[in-house]
Structure 1
Amino acid sequence: MPTTVKQEIAFVGTGLHSGRPVRMLMRPAATGGIRFRRTDITDRDNMIPARYDLVSDTRLNTRLTNAAGVSVSTVEHLMAALAGTGVWNVVIDIDGPEVPIMDGSASRFVQKIVATGLRHLPGPSRAVRVLEPVRVAHDGAWAEISPAPMLSVGFEIDFADAAIGRQALKLSLVNGVFVRELADCRTFCRRADVEAMQAAGLALGGSLDNAIVVEDAEILNPEGLRRSDEFVRHKMLDAVGDLALAGAPILGAYRGFRAGHGVTNALLRKLFATQGAWTETALDADTARQLPGAGVVESDLRRAS
């Protein structure tokens, strides 16, 4: 069955790039998918559906913009949290242009969603089933998606920085795996990149509290890494969030090499533009029980910590 959250969930944090405080309220919704509502804008349409075709910028984050020019950015970690806990119908009231970065992962979103619980809605659950392989490539990066009974994500990164290096991982994102294996993995960057972004007026809310910062072979965060391969796992988290902009769970195998938000969004656009490459399907009970958010419980959070 389709799902929403049982009750309102409040979040308070800071915008990664603006550095401004953000208040966000996740409200239950019976229909309509996932939608953002800019409460600070009242002179035009302030509702922004979370859809791949509304992605307007993928530099450093994923930004959505509606037909009235109203946007919300840095949506990828929240979208990953929603997909990973099985939430596909909510209205997210937000009082500014950017989702709060929290700790740089999806963990705090996931914690509150799981603690609140889900409400099942009438009707069958629906998903996007991949029927034919689709691939995109750009500037040495690529991503592809191919038919599979459930969503899996495979990713490989290759950085010159000795602290990161080359890492690869593949996970089948059946019930609870996202929460246990990916949700707590933080975004990362080079120290020199942070300095350059802040000089350009970006990443003003960035700190060691919400990102892993590396310099050559050194990890500058005093606490170190949460997982030895946290870097590639965060890239997988980003991919889950960007894929969630399909508007429904995807049944398919995703693979990415050095793929960022732009490549994954290009993959979704090509998938939906390719006749015969996909179909929308109602899920039987057995398949629905294997979706990423199915059966997630609070003990999954403890296992992730």
Structure 2
Amino acid sequence: MKLSRQTTLRSQATVTGVGVHSGLPVSLTIGPAPVDAGYIFIRTGLEGADREVHATADAVIATEFATVLGDREGPLVSTAEHVLATLRGMGIDNATIEIDGPEVPIMDGSAAAFVAAVDQAGIVTQSAARRFIQVLKPVQVAIGDCVGEFRPFAGGFRAEVEIDFANPLIGRQSYCFDLSAESFRREISRARTFGCMNDVARLWSAGFALGASFENSVVFDETRLLNAEGLRFRDECVRHKVLDVVGDLALAGLPILGAYRSVRGGHKLNHAALTALLSDRSAWRVVESETARRSRNVAEVGSSTVGGLIAPAYGPDVS
């Protein structure tokens, strides 16, 4: 096993689409960034100069329907979770994400298009050792009957996600996921966002789901799945929740060595749990890859290869 070093993209790659909530066209370009830069969103198309925001937990300004990043002047980029999940899931430490609209394009509702963009751009190894946030003790938060908990785990990063929807076609699902570039690509990246038709009026009245369609969301009514092509996985809904977890926790700024358990959670819970962890300096430490490898022989996280409007389940942070 090679010593784990930081990675970035070899070149740029661009995707275009519409925002699922805004319905507006948008172009997004991922590209290289220097050592220790992390993930930097560059918002273009604004009056005056471009604005930058580092994708960290303290840049989150809203979580009700999506993860929204901003600064003192207001929101800059919404629905950041799928592209962030791709960068973290594919083992990329440093990247720029240039975007010319207020929302990351939804594409087909999954991270598949962003994985393809990463493949197009390529991944290169950088000179510095990869650093991790290692969880040292359990940290738990609860919002009503939703629970998020970090705990130590001697095996990289693990997500244990459970959802429980009143809709009988979704119901209760659970998934345990150990993160690697290969497992992210195979098990999680193609899982699409999902929702129920009876949520349409509520989301529209809140100004959301304006760009949602059967081409970018899995849709259920009370008795059937409405997408003609069916599900990509039997448990696609909970797999998509895992995708959101990977993206929301990428806002830690470094890869996490530990396990995260989510019960009936969403963006709000993920952010609250991450904030609670980072706020407790006795609950974690930063380790470099050599230290992590000695303490656990941790596996390499990265890879050198690498219709009609409906309502997606971005809204109320309860599953």
**TM-score by structure 1 length?**
0.93
Distance in 1 (CA, whole Å) between partners of 2:297 and 2:252 is 17
Offset, 1:233? 0.6
Corresponding residue for residue 28 of structure 2 = 24
Secondary structure of residue in 2 paired with 1:92: strand
Structure 2 counterpart of 1:43, from 31, 48, 55: 48
CA-to-aligned-CA distance 1:58-99 (integer Å, 9 cap, x gap): 011000112332421100011101111111211111111100
Corresponding residue for residue 278 of structure 2 = 272
Offset, 1:165? 0.6
Q: 1:135 to 1:19 in 2, by over 3 A?
A: same
Corresponding residue for residue 17 of structure 2 = 13
Offset, 1:26? 1.2
Secondary structure of residue in 1 paired with 2:160: strand
Offset, 1:296? 5.4
Percent of aligned pairs with the same amino acid: 42
Say whether the 8 Å CA contact 1:126–1:249 is kept in structure 2: yes
* Structure 2 gaps, min length 5: 307-319
Corresponding residue for residue 168 of structure 2 = 162
Say whether the 8 Å CA contact 2:44–2:100 is kept in structure 1: yes
* Structure 1 gaps, min length 5: 298-305
Corresponding residue for residue 258 of structure 2 = 252
Corresponding residue for residue 299 of structure 2 = 290
Q: 1:172 to 1:280 in 2, by over 3 A?
A: same
Corresponding residue for residue 197 of structure 1 = 203
Say whether the 8 Å CA contact 2:8–2:33 is kept in structure 1: yes
Corresponding residue for residue 193 of structure 2 = 187
Offset, 1:30? 1.2
In the alignment, structure 1 residue 67 sits paired with structure 2 residue 76: no
CA-to-aligned-CA distance 1:240-264 (integer Å, 9 cap, x gap): 1000000111000111001110111
Q: Where do 1:137-176 residues align within 5 Å?
A: 137-149=142-154, 150-176=156-182
Distance in 2 (CA, whole Å) between partners of 1:192 and 1:180 is 31
Say whether the 8 Å CA contact 1:36–1:49 is kept in structure 2: yes
Secondary structure of residue in 2 paired with 1:168: strand
Distance in 2 (CA, whole Å) between partners of 1:274 and 1:110 is 33
Amino acid at match of 1:245: L
In the alignment, structure 1 residue 216 sits paired with structure 2 residue 225: no
Say whether the 8 Å CA contact 2:90–2:180 is kept in structure 1: no
In the alignment, structure 1 residue 124 sits paired with structure 2 residue 138: no
Offset, 1:289? 7.1
Question: How many equivalent residue pairs?
Answer: 297
Corresponding residue for residue 261 of structure 1 = 267
Distance in 2 (CA, whole Å) between partners of 1:258 and 1:291 is 30
Say whether the 8 Å CA contact 2:31–2:121 is kept in structure 1: no
